[in-house]
Structure 1
C-alpha cells in the first residue's frame, strides 16, 4: 500500500490520543496520529517522522503521522495500514504464508459476535483472517499488544470457536517494521491475550507473523518470522469438524 504527499518532520509532543505536534519545515504543525496505541517508545521528542498530506481542506489537521524512526528502523504506525496490506498480500496469493488457494476474498465479515477483518473462500474451505498490526519491539522481538486489549482477546476466542466448529482460521500479525528476530504475545502487558493465543493454537488456529518492508511512502508485507508462544496446560476439548460451518453473514 502507498501514501501520497509524504513530508519529513521532527516529533515534538503528543497532545492527545489522536493528535501530535510536529516540526515541519521549521514550523510547529498539528497532525492526526493514525494510531490510538501508546507508542511511548516510538513517539519521542526529536524523533524523525513522516507525514501524509490529507488533501482534505475541511479537516482541522492537514497531515497524518504515518511512520517514525526508532534508531535506524523505520516503523509504520498507521493502524489502518496492516489491513490494507494484508488484503493486497492475500490477493497476490499470500507469498510466504503457504495458504490454500484463494478463490474469493471479502472484508469485514460477521460470524458469531465478531466481525473478522477478512473472509476467504479457498480450495480447502472457508477461512477467516483476523489482522493485528504490531509496532512494539523489544530486544529484537516484536510484541503484541502494547496495551491491554479485551477486544483482541474476544477476537481470538471467537476465532478459536470458529475453528472448533470446523472452519479454518488465521491470526495474522503484521509487524510494521523490519528486521525482527521473532514475534511473541506481550505477557507483561496482557497475559490473558497470550493465554488466549496459546488456546487458539492448540485448537488449530494458525498463527502467522509477517514482517514488512517499510518506506516513508509505503508498507508491504514481507517474510514470516518465528512465533514464540507461552506454554500452558490445557484440557483439549475440540468439537468434531463440520463440513459447512454456518453463521456467516
Structure 2
C-alpha cells in the first residue's frame, strides 16, 4: 500500500490521542494521529516523523501521521495499514491458494472479525493486530490493556470448536525484529488468552513489514514466542 505526498517533520507534542503537533518547514502544524495507542516510546520530543498531506477542505486537519523513526527503525503508525496489507495478501492468493470468498468485517458471536475467507478445504476467520511496540529487537503486543483483544481471541477459539479454522495475524509495522511475544508485562490476561487460543487450535502468525515513508508491504514470517 502507498501514501501520497509525504513530508518529513519533527514531533513536538500530543495533546490527545487523536492529534499531534509537529514541526513542518519551520511551522507548527496540527496533525491527525492514525493510531489511538499510547505509542509513548515512539512519539518522543523531536522524533523524526512522516506525514501525509491532504487537500480535502472537509478535513479538520491537513496532515496525517504515517510513520516515525526510532533509532535505526522506521515504524509505520497507521492503525488501518495492517488490515490493508493483509487484504492485499489474501487477495493475491499467496496465503490461501484457491480462495473462493474474501469477506472483510464479518460478525461471529459478539465479535466482528477482520476477515472471513473460504477455500474448497476450509472456512476461516482471521483477526489482524498491528504491532508498533519494540524492545531490544522483540516485537510485542499490546502496548496498553485490551479487553477487546481478549474477547476476539476467546471467540476465535470458540469458532474452532464449532468447526471453523481461525487465525490471528500480528502485523509488525517495521523491519528488524527477531521475534514476537505477547506483552505480558502490560497485559498478562491477553498473553494467557493468546496461549489458550493457540492451544484451542487458533493459528498464531506474525509477519514483519518493509516500511518506507510512503508505503508498507508485508515481509517475512517472524517466530512467535510465548
| Alpha-carbon distance in 1 for matches of 2:212, 2:43 | 17
Structure 2 segments unaligned to the other structure (5+ residues): none
Written as runs of structure 1 = structure 2, the 5 A alignment for 1:131-150 is 131-150=128-147
Q: Which residue of 2 aligns with 1:196?
A: 193
| Alpha-carbon distance in 2 for matches of 1:7, 1:225 | 30
1:47 partnered with 2:44: no
Structure 1 runs of 4+ aligned residues shifted over 2 Å read none
Q: Which residue of 2 aligns with 1:245?
A: none
Quote the offset at 1:92 in angstroms.
1.4
| Alpha-carbon distance in 2 for matches of 1:212, 1:146 | 19
Q: Which residue of 1 aligns with 2:180?
A: 183
Counterpart pick for 1:225 among 214, 222, 225 = 222
| Alpha-carbon distance in 1 for matches of 2:169, 2:180 | 11
1:100–1:123: 8 Å Cα contact kept in structure 2?
no
After TM superposition, the structure 1 stretch with the greater mean CA deviation from structure 2, 54-63 or 24-33, is: 54-63
1:22–1:31: 8 Å Cα contact kept in structure 2?
yes
| Alpha-carbon distance in 2 for matches of 1:179, 1:75 | 10
Written as runs of structure 1 = structure 2, the 5 A alignment for 1:160-171 is 160-171=157-168
Written as runs of structure 1 = structure 2, the 5 A alignment for 1:61-76 is 61-76=61-76
| Alpha-carbon distance in 2 for matches of 1:83, 1:101 | 20
Q: Which residue of 1 aligns with 2:77?
A: 77
Task: Tell me the SS of whatever aligns to 1:152.
Answer: helix
Task: Please list the CA deviations of residues 133-152 of structure 1 after superposition, one character each: whole Å capped at 9, or x if unmatched.
Answer: 00000111100000000000
Written as runs of structure 1 = structure 2, the 5 A alignment for 1:152-163 is 152-163=149-160
Task: Please list the CA deviations of residues 16-41 of structure 1 after superposition, one character each: whole Å capped at 9, or x if unmatched.
Answer: 11000000011010000000000000
1:128–1:168: 8 Å Cα contact kept in structure 2?
yes
Quote the offset at 1:54 in angstroms.
2.4
Q: TM-score, normalised to structure 1's length?
A: 0.89
Task: Please list the CA deviations of residues 149-172 of structure 1 after superposition, one character each: whole Å capped at 9, or x if unmatched.
Answer: 000000000001001111100100
After TM superposition, the structure 1 stretch with the greater mean CA deviation from structure 2, 51-60 or 196-205, is: 51-60
Q: Which residue of 2 aligns with 1:26?
A: 26
Task: Please list the CA deviations of residues 105-127 of structure 1 after superposition, one character each: whole Å capped at 9, or x if unmatched.
Answer: 11001111111001111131111
Task: Tell me the SS of whatever aligns to 1:227.
Answer: coil
Q: TM-score, normalised to structure 2's length?
A: 0.98
Structure 1 segments unaligned to the other structure (5+ residues): 230-249
Quote the offset at 1:104 in angstroms.
1.7
Task: Tell me the SS of whatever aligns to 2:167.
Answer: strand
Q: Which residue of 2 aligns with 1:92?
A: 92
1:7 partnered with 2:7: yes
Quote the offset at 1:100 in angstroms.
5.3
Quote the offset at 1:101 in angstroms.
3.4
